[in-house]
Amino acid sequence: MSQDGHESGGVNLPADSVGGVPADTVIEARDVRYAIDGRPIFAGLDLTVRRGLITAVMGPSGTGKTTLLRLITGEICADQGRVAVFGRDMATLRTRELYATRRRMGVLFQNGALLTDLTVYENVAFPVREHTDLPEPLIRKLVLTKLEAVGLRGAAELMPAELSGGMARRVALARAIVTDPEILIYDEPFVGLDPISLGVILRLVKQMNDALKITSVVVSHDVHEIATIADYSYLLSGGKVVGAGTPAELARSESPTVRQFMTGGAEGPVRFHYPAADYATELLGVER
């Protein structure tokens, strides 16, 4: 069984722990509860991200996947429970400590979030200029090295408007890794990509994780794509983890919720319609 009470299979998960927490834990969420305007997003969320693995976080739209990333990066704090990164509770960090922790992370935003008035080169150089006092010759080497890693060294002087969607995502990836982070977070990295660009991004995520020896957290609802690179996956629904394990284990799950998501079923526990009042009553003003 895994640390979250689910069976674990193809990945060797170390058993040694400190205080009940696996020694290689990088991110830990325990009994996390969070609501927006009284609407529960998380209602007792538990998960663990372990060093060196690609951990996927999946779930239907509106289950709080991006909210979880905001909790991990300290943009927001849980109403209850604990979100710890590198063993530190993010809610208790002072501003300087929070910024220091964030500098150990790289984030690939869902839309790339490139600065439109800067060239590709300057976009990638931006985090280095902001957070270090490195000399320009060294910054140049860092930027060109990362652009080469994503296959875009030749596009260094292009503007974001001149890039395709897949190229923009690769530039954003170069920017995310330019400071050599220990954790790399991807927020829906496959959305809107053509098959070739998708294949390139999948390969890069895997290569970056292996070559840089980092820990990756990938938020996605692309079941088949993420299964090709994830070491361990969590499926969120109803504010909690409803399934966890290797991609193969989730594919074999007998849970109705997990099966519905993994197969894309229209019928099942996860409803298409957001909860609402009786349709006829609201539409016609007539009580049944």
Query: What are the tens digits of pLDDT across the range 74-125?
Result: 999 999 999 999 999 999 999 999 999 998 998 888 776 888 899 999 999 9
Pairwise CA distance, residues 74 & 265, whole Å: 35
Question: Which domains, and CATH codes, for the chain?
Answer: 1-101+220-265 (3.40.50.300)
How far is Cα 117 from Cα 6, in angstroms, rounded to an integer?
A: 47
- Give per-residue pLDDT as tens, 29-60: 999 999 988 888 999 999 999 999 999 998 87
Calpha distance 150→216 (Å, rounded): 17
Q: What whole-number distance in Å separates Cα of residue 235 and Cα of residue 57?
A: 6
* pTM, to two decimals: 0.79
Q: How confident is the model at residue 268 (pLDDT cuts 50, 70, 90)?
A: low
Return left, alpha or beta for 59; rule: phi > 0 is left, psi -120 to 50 is alpha, else beta. Answer: left
